[in-house]
């Protein structure tokens, strides 16, 4: 199924509609994780470009971003692999086959959501710390 040409028709069965929606959702997850990859690389580059004394303070946070980047790569790879297996959906002859794809999609959804939540918490903590440091510098000036 090509995601750019997915249309839901009135004559589509409920299962076909579910597969089409899942395909669009999977495509969005892959695009989002690709963006997160670029964002993480930019944050890591930012940490690595800091003066040595500042970089040492932030090394732990940088390492956490690097770990999230590794997780992101793994999850992105899994989603791409799942996307490639979805081409055989049209060959499903029974509900068991369809349900297998739907269950795998739900597994991917939980994995994606957990990862994004973990990433957002780390990023929020980083920006809160950054804002706190900016406020301290403003008060001491």
Its pTM stands at 0.85
Is residue 78 within 8 Å of residue 108, measured between CB atoms? yes
Q: What is the pLDDT of residues 24-33, one digit of tens each?
A: 999 999 999 9
pLDDT at residue 140 in the model: 85
Residue 64 is encoded by which pair of tokens?
Answer: 């956490």
Q: What is the pLDDT of residues 7-20, one digit of tens each?
A: 999 998 898 899 99
Q: What is the pLDDT of residues 104-119, one digit of tens each?
A: 999 999 999 999 999 9
């Amino acid at each position: 199924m090509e995601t750019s040409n997915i249309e839901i028709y009135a004559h589509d069965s409920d299962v076909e509609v579910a597969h089409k929606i899942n395909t669009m959702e999977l495509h969005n997850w892959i695009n989002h994780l690709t963006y997160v990859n670029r964002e993480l690389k930019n944050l890591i580059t930012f940490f690595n470009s800091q003066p040595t004394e500042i970089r040492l303070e932030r090394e732990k946070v940088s390492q956490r971003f690097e770990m999230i980047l590794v997780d992101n790569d793994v999850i992105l790879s899994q989603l791409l692999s799942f996307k490639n297996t979805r081409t055989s959906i049209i060959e499903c002859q029974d509900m068991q086959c369809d349900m297998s794809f739907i269950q795998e999609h739900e597994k991917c959804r939980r994995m994606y959501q957990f990862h994004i939540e973990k990433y957002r918490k780390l990023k929020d903590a980083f920006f809160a710390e950054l804002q706190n440091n900016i406020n301290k510098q403003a008060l001491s000036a």
